[in-house]
Amino acid sequence: MLTLLPLLACTDGDEPDRTTGDSAADSGIADTADTADTGALADLEPCGFTPMTDLDAAPDVVEVNLTASNFAWDPGTGIPLTGGMAFNEAVPGPVLEAKLGDRVRVHFVNDTDIDMSIHWHGLRVTPEMDGIQQMMGDPVSPGETFEYEYTIVDGGFYWFHTHMNTATTIEAGLYAPIVLHVPDEVAPDCDLPVVLDDVLLDEDTWQIAPPDTAMMKLMGRLGNVLMANGRSGRRVAWTKGQTTLLRLVNSSNARYWDLVLEGHTMTVVGTDGGFLAEPYAVDHLVMAPGERYMVVVEARGEAGESYRLMNRRVQLHEEDGDMIEVDPMGNGENPVMSFVYGVGEVVGAGWRQPAPDVPAWGAAVENLGHHWVLEEDMMGGTVTIDGAAWPDVPMVDVPMDVDATFEVENKSEMHHPFHIHGNRFQVVDVGGEAVAEGQGWKDTFDIPPRTTVRIVSALDNPGEWMYHCHILEHADGGMAGMMTVMEE
């Protein structure tokens, strides 16, 4: 039944010869025209990225042009998606690069045929620039422009995406990385954003499958093609000895990734909101939709060797009323990208952990800001927070500049990735079990089924902020509310 994914596995050497619409020529994350592992090195992408062009010469100002448009991009099948959309004609969109303290100006043009707003996921901007006020009141309509402007107050790895009809527009390709440098960062040999995504294609037309079924609205829309940086099968050049910083984001509508990198240890050096106090090594990494991790990898392989970045988690997606496994290799591997060693060896830059900006809170904070309850009624087909669906979820009011805990209780049988705009948080405990020290700032975190997660925040960014499940079908279906951080 599922014939698509084996074709896209990057270990295959027998991909059909198709004319490839090169979708990512301007993405900054280098593209390759050939996904087949031919053994040739000529098709390898350099390890790194090119940021969006900065139009302002001032050292502390980043000014860029950003246009959303209908754009047919190729997810690696060789067949461009006619229902696709893109920022600056690239999927993912071009990398927005800045540094702590910079003023960022984005000249946004909506060249699509639907209303839009841009959300800078994880950035502590002002409410007017967050995309939510526009969503609720004055969207950027087709043909219109909007000037987004904000100051960078956090370093690390973030992303931006549309925040209207998100389940449709993010599936269509409207997302891009944000790389924010901190002063004491030592540049690694390779700094590579990797956007993990999936897209659900109709297997007859190889185009984006029709709108969501009732089941998808409850279970989330899981794709049948897995992609890294907008397509399957990218091959990235590595050299023995080099240090790579992988900036990972899960932009999938609903898919949880369980990421492994063959033959290499990943050392987690940062999470959603910047660098950790204590890096830690992992052999796999679970990422909920919306989450980011920054990991460092030391390249230890030999010339000619190839190592796959894989999703080992098997999830089911619905197709013609049947539940289908996305597991082309039949063994939970699901490669999406590979790293291929060239000849030679370098003395790498190594990695020096930048100074973290993470207070040690722990269980000391007693002020309960709010206790949220997430529920999902499978029979009624509804998802709710505090017994209601957007826009009827009661407003949560909390005072500014007060350390407060929040509890998110998941009464459903599904995982929900909970995302809060405007203020950053740390996870204190999950199901009553304390999270180990070294935990960094988060803006998105998994709430396991039948579990309560406790988080803590300093609530230092005032205004009305949205919070919601980052399974986009749940967010669009009403699992979303607003919180006011009130200035005295």
Binding site for Cu ion (CB under 5 A): 416, 469, 471, 474
Beta pairing partners, 400:
none
Query: What size, in residues, is the chain?
Result: 488
54 or 443: whose CB is closer to Cu ion? 443
Q: Closer CB to Cu ion, residue 18 or residue 450? A: 450
Q: How far is the CB of 88 from Cu ion (least distance, A)?
A: 30
Nearer Cβ to Cu ion, position 179 or 469? 469
Give whichever of 384 and 439 is closer to Cu ion, judged by the CB atom.
384
The H or E element spanning position 108 is strand 103-111
Please check whether residue 353 is in contact with residue 250, taking contact to mean a CB–CB distance below 8 angstroms.
no
Whole-number Å distance between alpha carbons of 118 and 85: 14
Residue 392 beta carbon to Cu ion: minimum distance, rounded to whole angstroms:
17
Query: CB burial class (10 A; 0-12, 13-18, 19+) of residue 360?
Result: exposed
Amino acid at 367: N
**Minimum gap (Å) between residue 254 Cβ and Cu ion:** 8
Closest-CA residue to 166 (of 274, 85, 47, 109): 85
Which residues is 5 bridged to in the sheet? none
Q: How far apart are CA 66 and CA 63, in angstroms?
A: 10
Query: Which lies closer to Cu ion via its Cβ, residue 32 or residue 382?
Result: 382
| Residue 54: how many other CB atoms lie within 10 Å | 18
Among 172, 222, 212, smallest CA distance to 323 is for 222
Residue, CB closest to Cu ion: 469
Q: How far apart are CA 189 and CA 350, in angstroms?
A: 8
Distance separating alpha carbons of residues 80 and 58, to the nearest angstrom? 39
Residue with tokens 């957007």: 390
Q: Of 106, 99, 154, give the one whose Cα is nearest residue 129.
A: 106
The closest of 58, 109, 108, 68 to 90, measured between CA atoms, is 68
Alpha carbon distance 365, 93 (integer Å): 40
Question: Is the Cβ–Cβ distance between 481 and 383 less than 8 Å?
Answer: no
What is the spatial distance between Cα 277 and Cα 298, in angstroms, rounded to a whole number?
A: 20
Closest contact distance (angstroms) between CB of 90 and Cu ion is 29
Instruction: Give least dist CB 119 to Cu ion, A.
Output: 17
Please say whether the beta carbons of 329 and 320 come within 8 A: no
Minimum distance from CB of 474 to Cu ion (Å)? Answer: 3
Q: Which amino acid is at 67?
A: T
Helix ranges (DSSP H) in 154-298 = 166-172, 214-219
* Closest approach of Cu ion to the CB of residue 324, in Å: 21
Q: Indicate the residue among 7 and 471 with the shorter CB distance to Cu ion.
A: 471
CB of 473 to Cu ion, least distance (A): 8
| Residue closer to Cu ion (CB basis): 222 or 236 | 222
Nearer to Cu ion (CB atom), residue 442 or residue 474: 474
Identity of the residue, 121 or 474, whose beta carbon is nearer to Cu ion in the bound complex: 474
Least Cβ distance, residue 469 to Cu ion (angstroms)? 3
Min. distance of Cβ 99 from Cu ion in angstroms?
34
In the block, residue with structure tokens 């990385």: 177
Please count the CA atoms within 13 angstroms of the CA of 236 that sit on its side-chain side: 25
Question: Is 134 or 251 the residue whose CB approaches Cu ion more closely?
Answer: 251
> Residue for token digits 């952990």?
353
Nearer to Cu ion, 222 or 246 (CB): 222
Q: Shortest Cβ distance from residue 414 to Cu ion (Å)? A: 6
